[in-house]
Homo-oligomer: A and B are copies of this chain.
Amino acid sequence: MSGAAEDLSIGQVAERTGLSVHTLRFYEREGILANAVRRGAGGRRLYSEDDVEWLRLCVILRASGMPLPAIRAYTDLVRQGAGTERERLDLLRRHREDVIAQIDRLTRCLDLITFKVGVYEDHLDRGPAEHVCGASSPPERTPRNQRAASAQ
């Protein structure tokens, strides 16, 4: 499936991955391509659809905060071929946990920020109250009801 023999230029790959051509070359130097890029006339890089798929995976890993060295480690495992599946799975699982942790952290931040937004909304549509400061923990989840909260 999908294994057409269409060769793609670096510019085309940039278009379909959202990465810049600079970044594509940079990733290659960093060892972040599952299979070595072939070269065409004049030394130009030739990419396959598989390369694009691989890069899209890399984009997702990056977007979820995986550092380049970790992506390189994963790439190395893939390049080593069969027998490294267990390690790849472990690596992905660890990253998965990491992403979950990130989401948790962000969600907790979001709660506090939402609380703070609530405090300001109160403050603005019921006239100024006393002073209004730090990150004071959402005391009991009722921004629109109580007046001890910070609005700095």
Contacts and interface: CB of A to CB of B under 8 A. Distances in A.
A37 interface: no
B117 A151 contact: no
Nearest to A99: B110
Given A102-B106, A116-B92, A123 B85 contact: yes
Contacts of A86: 124
A54 interface: yes
A136 B56 CA distance: 9
A145 interface: no
Contacts of A64: 105-106, 109-110, 113
22 contacts: A1-B148, A53-B134, A54-B133, A54-B135, A57-B135, A60-B109, A60-B112, A60-B135, A64-B105, A78-B152, A85-B124, A85-B151, A88-B120, A88-B151, A89-B124, A92-B120, A93-B117, A96-B110, A96-B113, A99-B106, A99-B109, A102-B106
Interface of A is mostly: helix
A36 interface: no
A33 to B, nearest CB: 12
Nearest to A148: B1
Given A63-B105, A89-B120, A113 B135 contact: no
B120 A56 contact: no
Interface string A119-152: 0110110001000011110000000000010111
